[in-house]
Structure formats: structure tokens, C-alpha cells
Amino acid sequence: MMKNFLGEKIYDYRVRENMTQDQLGARYGVSGPAIFKFEKSYVRPSLALWMRMSRDFKIPEKKAVLLWVKSKLPDEYQDCIDLRGTGAAESQGAYAGEGRKVAYAQIHDRDELRATLLRDATIPRGLKGLIKDDELWGLYKPTGREVALLRDSFGKLGEASKNTYREALRIVRDFLGTE
């Protein structure tokens, strides 16, 4: 399945800015349903529209163009475009943002950790779904170190479900010897 590079960037920006699809669409002169289609990768924005969006998303121009081109390629050719020289490496999970990873292991207050995670648009969607789960915080009480390991070790593999990340947390805990 083709990676949804552009849709993830559009979705992450919209969520980070706390906007509806209609609000984001109005900013760029397109409809809310068009934004939905971009986010789901049913269609891709034109290069001109994508470049306007990417400026607001703070994506360097060269990287924005390469992301747009990469999004058009069949799966077997997507690895031919290397984004490492564009200011920030693009990970398989597309969670690395612009090369800035939050040091979650340094956050010891669980409320602060959760709030920081929920604001971080670079967290993979499945992991973000798990973070939103109140049961996780009540039963599992993840640490910043565990979340960082989930992001860094499992996020690189691509998108996964909330339940998959829950299982990954159990695996991380087995390796760390924490329960």
C-alpha cells in the first residue's frame, strides 16, 4: 500500500492547529471534503496547492517538492527518493517531524507527559490513539522512556493500531524488566 506522505502532513497540521477540515479547506480555497480526500490519500493536492500548504506547515521547499513527487510513485520506487538531505530525514513512520524529537524520557509527571504527547503531531496515529486511551493511563501508567521506545522502535515500522501499540508496550516492558 502506498504511503500517505502528504495526507499525514495535512492531518497532523490540521490537528495541531485545532482546525476542522472545512476551516483548513477555507484557508486554501478548497472544500472540507477535499481536505478529507487529501488526508485519506484518495486524491492529492496539486503541486501549487501543496507548496502553499507546506509553507504553512514549515516544511522546507525542497523537501515539500520531494514529498509530493514521492507520493506519486508506486511503492516499489518510493525508496528511490531519499529525504535525508532535505533538512530532516523522513522516517518510515513519518513521525520524525522536522528532525526534532521530544525527549519524553525526561518528563516524569504523567499529566505533563500525556499533554505533551497529545500536542505532538509527530507521534504515529496508532500510538496517538493509545495515548488518548484513559485506560492506558489508569492501568499501564507508561513512562516517558517507554513511550520514546515505542516511538523510536516501533514507529519506524509504519502505521499500526492502538492495540498493536499496546502489545508493543508489553514487549518493551518485558525487555526493560518493568511491569
What the block records as the C-alpha cell of 158 is 509504519
Confirm if 6 and 44 have CB atoms less than 8 A apart: yes
Helix axes 61-72, 47-56, angle to 10 degrees: 140
Q: pLDDT tens digits, residue range 56-112?
A: 988 888 888 888 888 888 777 777 776 665 544 333 333 334 445 677 878 888 888
Domain assignments of the chain as residue spans, ordered by start: 5-86, 104-176
The number of helix segments (H) and strand segments (E) in the chain equals 11, 0
Torsion, Cα of 12, 26, 50, 119 (10° steps) = -10
Task: Give the up-direction half-sphere exposure of residue 91: CA atoms within 13 A in the CB hemisphere.
Answer: 21
Separation CA 27–CA 17 (nearest Å) = 12
At the top level of CATH, the class of 5-86 is mainly alpha
What residue type is assigned to position 126 of the chain? Answer: G
Mean pLDDT, the chain, rounded, equals 80
pTM of the model: 0.48
